[in-house]
Structure 1
Amino acid sequence: MRSMNPDDSASPTAYDLLGGDTKLRELVDRFYDLMDLEPEFAGIRALHPTPLDSSRDKLYWFLSGWMGGPGMYIERFGHPRLRARHLPYAIASSERDQWLRCMAWAMQDVGVEESLQLRLMQSFYETADWMRNRAG
């Protein structure tokens, strides 16, 4: 996720704008803490294993590369194949919306700058909507 101008390779990545490794880990940890604690996220929590450690690591590794940082997920697992990897899980509009709300809340809690939140949420929405594999 580079700058809005694809010809501007010198502009900072979303990973850089976020604050790099430490801030990304903080964001992912807050996301899963909220998922685990808040009743409104029970639907997506039920789709995850207990404990959440492997889920935390996989999202952290994935988002690192997706945001323009180190490609840790691809180094470990190859191409993400997001939709294929999520097909075994029932994902409808409710799960999509819970995921998005949880991520928006996490970004606010860790202090992600507002314009970056908006940029990320647009991309997250497009991806989350594409992940739906059930009606509703």
Structure 2
Amino acid sequence: MSQENAATAGTEVSVYERIGGAATIDRLVEDFYHRMDTLPDAAYLRSLHRPDLTETKDVLKRYLSEWLGGPKLYTPERGHPRMRQRHMHVPIKAADRDAWLMCMRGALEDAVPDERTRQGIDAAMSRLADWMRNVAEPGIAPPGAP
């Protein structure tokens, strides 16, 4: 075994590395916001953002990089993500969660060719998106409920 292989033996490859790193994160975020810009079902979500998405895209890229096991680009600059707390000023219903997931799933489909990896990311994002709901709705279980 070479020294390089010995040094990496037993280490797990992060999701960030498996999907192709920063280039894939860039493609994913750009496609996600393109979908939000163009899909009628995402119009309300898009209206919650500033017209210029430059900063928003940068923040999401930094967050996803770290969240998927890549470089820690988010917390050194912005602190602990506290995603639900950071979004509490925005009413988020089940339909909003679903629209967000629709955009993200489409972007994942285009950016992450490996189905197993994509399914793992989708499952984690689905849990996070559901946790972000902050509006009680009749007949819909609260966030985190089985």
What TM-score do you get using the length of structure 2 for normalisation?
0.84
Uncovered stretches (5+) of structure 2, i.e. residues with no partner: 1-8, 138-146
Q: Aligned runs of 1:1-16 on 2, under 5 Å?
A: 10-16=11-17
Report what 1:107 is aligned to: 108
Determine the C-alpha separation between the residues in 1 that align with 2:67 and 2:10: 16
Structure 2 residue matching 1:72: 3-state secondary structure:
coil
Report what 2:130 is aligned to: 129
Q: Which amino acid aligns with 2:27?
A: E
1:78-102 CA-to-partner distances (Å, cap 9, x unmatched) read: 1111111000011010111111111
Q: How far is 1:135 from its partner? A: 2.5
Determine the C-alpha separation between the residues in 2 that align with 1:21 and 1:99: 22
Q: Which amino acid aligns with 2:35?
A: L
How has the CA–CA distance of structure 1 residues 9 and 59 changed in structure 2, closer, same or farther, with 3 Å as cutoff? farther
Q: How far is 1:9 from its partner? A: 6.4
Report what 1:48 is aligned to: 49
Report what 1:4 is aligned to: none
Query: Greater Rg, structure 1 or structure 2?
Result: 2
Is 1:25 matched with 2:4? Answer: no
Report what 2:37 is aligned to: 36
Q: Aligned runs of 1:42-121 on 2, under 5 Å?
A: 42-121=43-122
CA contact (8 A) 2:24 2:112 kept: no
1:9-58 CA-to-partner distances (Å, cap 9, x unmatched) read: 61111101110011111111110111111112112112211111111111
How has the CA–CA distance of structure 1 residues 111 and 13 changed in structure 2, closer, same or farther, with 3 Å as cutoff? closer
Q: State, as a whole percentage, how many aligned pairs show the same letter.
A: 37
RMSD: 1.4
Q: Which amino acid aligns with 1:26?
A: R
Determine the C-alpha separation between the residues in 2 that align with 1:91 and 1:26: 26
CA contact (8 A) 2:65 2:73 kept: yes
How has the CA–CA distance of structure 1 residues 108 and 79 changed in structure 2, closer, same or farther, with 3 Å as cutoff? same
